[in-house]
Amino acid sequence: MVFQFRFRAKGSFLGDPIVDSSPARSESVSESDVTGMASFRQARLELEDGTVFDGQAFGANRSVSGEVVFATGMVGYPESLTDPSYRGQLMALTYPLVGNYGVPAKPEGDPLCHGFESSRIQAQALVIQSLSSDYSHWNATRSLDQWLIEEGVPGITGIDVRALTRILRNAGTLKGRLLIEGSVDREEVLNAPYQDPGQRNVVAEVSCDQPILHRCGVEGALRVILVDCGAKTSITRSLLKRGADVLQVPWDHDFVAEEGDAVLLSNGPGDPKMARQTIDHVRIALNGDRPLMGICLGNQLLALAAGFDTYKLDFGHRSQNQPCVEVGTSRCWVTSQNHGYAVDGRRIPAGWAEWFTNANDGSNEGIRHLEKPFFSVQFHPEANPGPHDAAELFDRLLEVAR
């Protein structure tokens, strides 16, 4: 059994360390049954800048590579892990105690995946400070560890996630790999270049294959066309709950030709510019009058179609506590977000306006057309995880669609 709790930071991102870092040691212990002392596989998180974190493996016995991102929400790991926006990413959670309330039962036969945001874990891996070996919640049937094993997703625990976060926030994003000792693919991942989900069309990976109609069960209900670029199921649930039918269509589907009262461009992973076909369809839709709303990636897609530009934020928004102010009012919502790119609100195409801005850094959080019912937000009104402040945007969409 090998113990290696320390990580070696290469580079001087934090100035001079106060404590001399002594070389990592290994020693063995028998008869141990305390958490953290129990037998475990060693895991190592390596970043492309050379930083290494040594910790303990949990979840599936696999090694993976991808973009390393963090999220500061204190609750909602089942929702975040299944959010398609995290496709291809190694997700680090800054809240240090994870797994406390377990994981709900698998949503077998439930197309809306209650308790989750899609039918599977989308993140490549989970990176945490401390895995709870036990859980207690009436709605849970399995531990986080067990769930990750079932889903074939590896995890690392016992590392200084705050230190990792400080590196990631300064770098913007970094690629990295999680190497699990004893996993068959360890050598393969170690020898391959870092995988970059930004280089491929991840939207295509997470979108549905063909249109799906979700009915709310009300006669004569409004129909919203949900362009699925990696849509969280809670978007569909939010609309159904409000008495609208949802026609979920693939990301590259020609939704302009579909019958419906409104269009909703969903959230999704990766670089918006990869979803070229969607942007083309949106551009056509902007010639019409049908209400159109965008969420997160959908905001960026609408913006690009409308002639806005996007840029990389100095410090990305990866939290459930982002304050967004409706321009021209003093109304502020606390919102859930996960993005590193933003719409450039300084150069506004004719006919458009900024709708929301971020109270912390002033970045754009939404745009709207001055005449037509086109609007989008960078944050997540569907929450899950996160605050429900912005949920009324779904009401607004249905109002203008009526």
Partner 1 sequence: MSQPNPAHNRVGPGSTSGRDVIRPEKVLILGSGALKIGEAGEFDYSGSQAIKALREEGIRTILVNPNIATIQTSADLADEVYFLPVNSHFVERVIEREKPDGILLSFGGQTALNCGLELDRQGILEKHGIQVLGTPLETIRTTEDRHLFAEVLRSIKLDTPRSRACEDLVTSLAAAEEISYPVMVRAAFSLGGKGSGIARNAEELTEMANNAFANAPQILVEEYLEGWKEIEYEVVRDAQDNCITVCNMENIDALGIHTGESIVVAPSQTLSDHDYHRLRSISIELIRHLGVVGECNVQFALHPQSDEYRIIEVNARLSRSSALASKATGYPLAFVAAKLALGYCLIDVPNSITKVTSSCFEPALDYCVIKMPRWDLKKFRRVSTSLGSEMKSVGEVMSIGRKFEEALQKACRMLGVGAHGLVSARNHFKEDDLHQLLEVPTEERIFAIGEAFKRGWSVDKVHALTKITPWFLQRVREVAKCQKQIENYSFEELPPSLLRCAKELGFSDNQVARSLDRAEPIPSGYQAALDVRDRREELGIRPVVKQIDTLAAEYPAQTNFLYMTYNGSTHDVVPRDPAPFVVLGGGAYRIGSSVEFDWCAVNAVDALARAGHRTVMINYNPETVSTDYDSCDRLYFEELSLERVLDIVELERSQGVVISVGGQIPNQLAVPLGSRGVKILGTDVDSIDRAENRERFSSLLDDLGIDQPEWRELTSIEDACSFSERCGYPVLIRPSYVLSGAAMSVAHSDEEMEIYLKAAADVSREHPVVVSKFIAGAKEIELDGVAQDGNVVCYAISEHVENAGVHSGDATMVFPSQRLYLETTRRIKRIARGIAEALSITGPFNIQFIARDNHIKVIECNLRASRSFPFVSKILKENFIDYAVRAMLGQKVESPSKSAFEFDFVGVKAPQFSFSRLKGADPLLGVEMSSTGEVACLGDTVEEAYLKALISVGFNLPKKGVLLSTGTIESKAAFLDSARKIEELGLPIYATPNTHLFLEQNGIDSTMLHQPLDSQSPNVIEALEDGRIDLVINVPRSLERKDLTSGYLIRRKVVDYGISMLTNIQAANLLVEALWEIRDPQQMLVKPWSEYS
**Please, which residue, 259 or 371, has the CB nearer to partner 1?**
371
CB under 8 A: which stretch of 171-179, 240-248, 343-351, 377-385 binds partner 1? 377-385
The answer to whether 381 contacts partner 1 (rule: CB under 8 A) is: no
- For 28, counting Cβ atoms within 10 Å of its Cβ (0-12 exposed, 13-18 middle, 19+ buried), the class is exposed
The answer to whether 371 contacts partner 1 (rule: CB under 8 A) is: yes
CB neighbourhood size of 24 (10 A): 14
Q: What is the size of the binding site for partner 1 (CB under 8 A)?
A: 99
The answer to whether 312 contacts partner 1 (rule: CB under 8 A) is: no
Out of 56, 165, 183, 201, point to the residue binding partner 1 (CB under 8 A): 165
Cβ burial 290-300 (10 Å sphere, 16+ → b, else e): bbbbbbbbbbb
**Please, which residue, 157 or 207, has the CB nearer to partner 1?**
157
> Which residue from 273, 275, 272, 234 is spatially nearest to 251, judged by alpha carbons?
275
The answer to whether 399 contacts partner 1 (rule: CB under 8 A) is: yes
The pair of structure tokens assigned to 200 is 């491929």
Distances (CA, A) of 375 to 79, 238, 352: 26, 18, 9
**Three-state DSSP class for 53?**
strand
Out of 11, 12, 29, 259, point to the residue binding partner 1 (CB under 8 A): 29
User: Catalytic residue at 332?
Assistant: no
Active-site residue (options: 253, 281, 317, 380): 380
Per-residue binder mask for partner 1 (CB under 8 A), 40-79, x = binder: ------------------------------x-xxxxx-xx
**Please, which residue, 133 or 277, has the CB nearer to partner 1?**
133
Out of 63, 124, 130, 310, point to the residue binding partner 1 (CB under 8 A): 130
User: Catalytic residue at 392?
Assistant: no
Q: Report the distance separating Cα 343 and Cα 308, nearest Å.
A: 7
The pair of structure tokens assigned to 392 is 């009324």
User: Catalytic residue at 324?
Assistant: no
Amino acid code (one letter) for 6: R
Amino acid code (one letter) for 369: H
Q: Which residue has the tokens 């294959």?
A: 209
The answer to whether 11 contacts partner 1 (rule: CB under 8 A) is: no
Active-site residue (options: 67, 113, 229, 296): 296
**Which residues are the active-site residues?**
296, 380, 382
